[in-house]
Amino acid sequence: MMKFVKNFRNDEDGAVTVDWVVLTAAVVGLAIAAYGSIQTGAVSMTDATGVFLGTQEANIGGTLSSE
């Protein structure tokens, strides 16, 4: 039994797995944070573009007005 406990304490295979899980969780967390930031900016830009395009007039005849 004592030999089993010593081997279990010295075994580091599980520690590597824990490191990978922590690193993967950190990467996923950063990706979610970046997505939230990008989404907010993209929605704002899309709204501004929609407002700009909504104020434009179509030039159907191919001539420019001299107003």
- pLDDT per position as a tens digit, 5-20: 877 777 766 777 888 9
pLDDT in tens, 38-49: 988 898 899 999
Angular region, 62: left φ>0, alpha ψ -120 to 50, beta rest: left
C-alpha angle 12-16-22 in degrees, rounded to nearest 5: 140
Give this prediction's pTM.
0.50
- For tokens 């159907």, the residue is 60
Q: What pLDDT, on the 0 to 100 scale, is given for residue 21?
A: 92
**Average pLDDT of the chain to the nearest whole number:** 84
Amino acid at 59: N
